[in-house]
Structure 1
């Protein structure tokens, strides 16, 4: 399996391919994100659980942008509801060992998901958690247009030390520095690229952020209207709206179960 998966992902090593929500109430969270981002929620019964797909549009062949599952019982109480990303890698086992050798941690050892691929849950040397996966080849998987409302538009890392974090991910995923933006007292914001395309940013963790973590931004068509949908559906706006370099507008939010997420739009 690993050989076949590796051949299918060798040109996408380091590419974000999925986002996943672990939450205390999948039914309520599904309603919330459907109202805010327009997603459809499709339950997929699996052995011992139900996994929920987040899709854009309706019907049998809709682009999937992420998934949702109930927060496992062993994590409830000390891990809050949260979003996490999946990065494609050529070899999950080798990459997991690289995380550990580089000072990070393997939270869940590599294992197979039948019909999907092989994955592991890891953390970088500062403790920010991320998932890695070698997906199996999938024929005819629909994809949403880049930048479409409801898709992931940006990936952001709050690190204990910017240069240390960047060097680690550059060595592990092959990411490169696109450019730096001087934020004054807040330090440098580093735009990083995957195979030459800028996909996210890294910065030193602000005091308001308790632990190093990844943040996921979802595209919306008009930030003010999306903010109104967040509050109407029971979520909270933590920060924003705020204009950022490049002309985008962003807001940081929490859903009713407490999971953090962010919004981004090219218009207010």
Structure 2
């Protein structure tokens, strides 16, 4: 599992409103769990009890630190402490030191040398539990992980060394530069490119799969979200649509069908 994105998590100032938005848009079914001092919500695709994403409240203290509503990803690693230390030793930063989530795993929050934040986790599957997840590529799952980098060519070796990623197809985006896709083994898992100048800092963006892109984009608007760019086709044939949810968290939609 080392180097695989295994979880995606929304930090939002209004969990109830976000739950209604994503439930209506994607059909996600929520389960709330009371943790120490806060409520954590997992989202599942109908028919599969194991969650595909999670959500928790963005606290006033986090907002005061300048943390906006956001989606983040968790990358599985064999040893959280070792990988977090490597981040720091190679120009990155540790934003939250490794700690245990009983029965779930050990995690840390880190940033690459250009400031893009991601979570690391060594998962702990409870004894006897195998889980039931939808097949990769199913509607309602995250199907692509994208780094909007300060300079992707400079940060590429950092990620390849940490996670064993290999370059896959490179797409010339004209004035926007090269879009470099990457894979783990034979499975394509994401891409990276240089962020646009108006973007305040490097960040990870995540694509949620939907049955048809135009219907889903229209639904985003109906539910109070914002479509940032109209649905369009990208090399390889997929259709994508970047958006904001009603609380301001960025995400993208992806589909094989218009």
What TM-score, normalized by structure 1, do the two folds share? 0.93
Q: Which residue of 2 aligns with 1:3?
A: none
SS at match of 2:218: helix
Distance 2:59 2:88 in 1: 24
Q: 1:167 Cα shift?
A: 0.8
SS at match of 2:180: strand
Q: Which residue of 2 aligns with 1:232?
A: 222
Contact kept? 1:154, 1:200, Cα under 8 Å: yes
Do residues 17 (structure 1) and 13 (structure 2) align?
A: no
Match of 2:82 among 73, 76, 94: 94
Distance 2:221 2:125 in 1: 39
Do residues 204 (structure 1) and 221 (structure 2) align?
A: no
User: Which moves more between the two structures, 254-263 or 203-212?
Assistant: 203-212
Q: 1:207 Cα shift?
A: 1.4
Q: Which runs of 4+ in 1 moved over 3 A?
A: none
Q: Which residue of 1 aligns with 2:112?
A: 124
Q: Which stretches in structure 2 are left out of the alignment for 5+ residues?
A: none
Q: Which residue of 1 aligns with 2:97?
A: 109
SS at match of 2:32: strand
Q: Which residue of 2 aligns with 1:75?
A: 62
Aligned residues: 255
Q: How does 1:128-167 map to 2 (within 5 A)?
A: 128-138=116-126, 139-167=129-157
Q: 1:239 Cα shift?
A: 1.2
Match of 2:158 among 163, 168, 181: 168
Q: 1:179 Cα shift?
A: 2.1
Match of 2:43 among 20, 29, 54: 54
Please report the RMSD computed on the Cα atoms of aligned residues, expressed in angstroms.
Answer: 1.1
Distance 1:39 1:111 in 2: 29
Contact kept? 1:176, 1:196, Cα under 8 Å: no
SS at match of 1:200: strand
Distance 1:74 1:109 in 2: 18
What TM-score, normalized by structure 2, do the two folds share? 0.96
Q: Which residue of 2 aligns with 1:214?
A: 204
Distance 2:136 2:2 in 1: 19
Q: Which stretches in structure 1 are left out of the alignment for 5+ residues?
A: 1-11
Match of 1:194 among 153, 178, 184: 184
